[in-house]
Chain A
């Protein structure tokens, strides 16, 4: 374990050095602002040790594993500052943010009027992205391809058997067994469900269940708590299929299907596919973006974004510095940690914009 941590630290160190180099050389094909903020950030990196106090944060559970990993590493450079992230869910995180209960919130979805935070009181900072896998358990089938429409019909139980001709059409040459499909979904309200259903709304005309954190699932489908619960439900039933975030699906040893993307290619879930999706997505002015069903031949179609909500003004200067410091750390050093815990780092251009966003904090 010690060795593991050491090598990780070395990695982060190398990354910082690389960043500094990139800053000096200005060799990135991104704009000058990129280099500018790059240098700013590495100058800020040495200041981490000066940060002190305690940061309270709550929100999305989807990036929880990543944030906890970053917090662990952050402790090694900023021993004076304690960060606590409570994965209570995006909705609760936003409510807490509106009620002034946290210093920043994690959210998978954008803020609506009824969510709590007042318009203008917050800024979005994109942090990482991750693919949502369509995991399955089907003995004898180790490679499965699905188009969005087939996927939609499976999840709304229009297709009930694995040897359905529609699945066969997506998988030429594969012998599919005559087995019942067991659909697994999240029983708790979840950003994963939201993004998965948003993808189906965007890509599959056949999808009828709309999109949201909780859906009106057909009665014969089964729910389970959290990603790990869904993963475990799929594992326990031969013929099971469900959507699970990449990190948990990998850790559970599930096999996942390749999904047909906008360009008509079947691409399996991978971090590269997710980063490709981010490159293909249009970034709005407030830095929100929609990487679902993005264009590009190597794009993985079901890629979910996640954001941190920071306040536009912090009355306490120390708190402001602490939030800025921690989020800067996520955007710089944290990005190198991301692949290790199966999250996709932001593309350079978006990262630069995110760092610039932090300068708007008063």
Chain B
């Protein structure tokens, strides 16, 4: 790794080097120690994360095959074979639908907070409530959807899961998007307004594109969190062993639910399916991350 790159190799713009020799020992030591600690922090975080990923790849990798990715879910925990095809489809559909609902609403909400509401009492209330909403445990969100949507329509569906996940994603998207919008320099807005663009036009064509990279990053975090949620899926989506392409008709399933269900079995084939599902889920999110990054870079206004 290049982590050991000395901090002085890149002469930063405008910093004259001549002061270096004049530094007192104490200042130099403090500098070295703390910069060294940053590297240590990276190692401290990377090692366990690397171990988790390694565990998933090594145990899940041997399970993954075309059959595993496409075949129906076997009911038996003891027998090997079969796959998690329906759960992959379910994850994509449920999370996709949740994103479809939460992203526009979240971004619009953030636009309200940063472009219109600013520090007004209502905006501050919404901001605070969004923070609170991020703290709502996923199981409570699942219970909420269960006691409203599911009991009302007397059926568990993929869409109920999408609703629960969208509720989990919404506040995260709002808050992260707002943070990013705040970073857009006011000069950009003023320039656009001065040129005669209306405020909504300015927001859509200047402010949002300027912040799109950061917004995407926040949205990805939200989707990642949602895609891995287990408890609401188990409660409101139900279970199926064959692919269900409809979000509104019939029960569905998703990868986290399959991980949870199989991991709590002692039988080897079930545990293998759990690890395989975990790897599949991570890969799906990875692919999605890369695609989203490419899109974001394409639309981003380059740094000045």
Contacts and interface: CB of A to CB of B under 8 A. Distances in A.
Q: Do chains A and B touch in the complex (CB under 8 A)?
A: yes
Contact of B266 (A58, A72, A248): A248
A255 to B, nearest CB: 15
B251 A56 contact: yes
B78 A82 contact: no
B238 interface: yes
A312 to B, nearest CB: 18
B151 A99 contact: yes
A187 to B, nearest CB: 12
A229 B264 contact: yes
Contacts of A82: 240-242
Interface stretch (A83-91, A213-221, A259-267, A286-294): A83-91
Contact of B77 (A58, A65, A252): A65
Contacts of A99: 151, 154
A69 B81 contact: no
Interface centre among A85, A226, A228, by most chain B C-beta atoms within 10 angstroms, is: A228
Interface secondary structure of A, over-half rule: helix
A295 B126 CA distance: 65
A90 to B, nearest CB: 15
Contacts of B241: 71, 82, 84
B261 interface: yes
Contacts of B267: 251
A252 B270 CA distance: 14
B266 to A, nearest CB: 4
A152 B238 CA distance: 38
Interface secondary structure of B, over-half rule: loop
Contact of B75 (A72, A226, A248): A72
Classify chain A's interface size.
20 to 34
Contacts of B250: 54
Nearest to B264: A226
Interface in B243-272: 250-251, 261, 264-267
A88 B233 CA distance: 11
A87 B234 CA distance: 9
Given A84-B239, A84-B240, A86-B238, A251 B79 contact: no
A72 B242 CA distance: 12
Interface in A291-346: 341
Nearest to A226: B264
Interface in A60-115: 65, 68-69, 71-72, 75, 82, 84-88, 92, 99-101
A112 to B, nearest CB: 20
Classify chain B's interface size.
20 to 34
A338 B59 CA distance: 31
A231 interface: yes
A101 B75 contact: no
Contact of B261 (A87, A101, A227, A251): A87
A252 B266 contact: yes
A165 B213 CA distance: 70
A1 interface: yes
B76 interface: yes
A191 B80 CA distance: 28
A46 interface: no
B78 A69 contact: yes
B46 to A, nearest CB: 28
B266 A84 contact: no
Interface in A215-273: 225-229, 231-232, 248, 251-252
Contacts of A101: 150-151, 154-156
Contacts of A68: 75-77
11 contacts: A1-B81, A56-B251, A58-B239, A65-B77, A68-B77, A71-B241, A72-B75, A75-B75, A84-B239, A84-B251, A87-B261
Interface of B: 74-81, 150-151, 154-156, 234-235, 238-242, 250-251, 261, 264-267
Interface of A: 1, 4-5, 54, 56, 58, 65, 68-69, 71-72, 75, 82, 84-88, 92, 99-101, 225-229, 231-232, 248, 251-252, 341
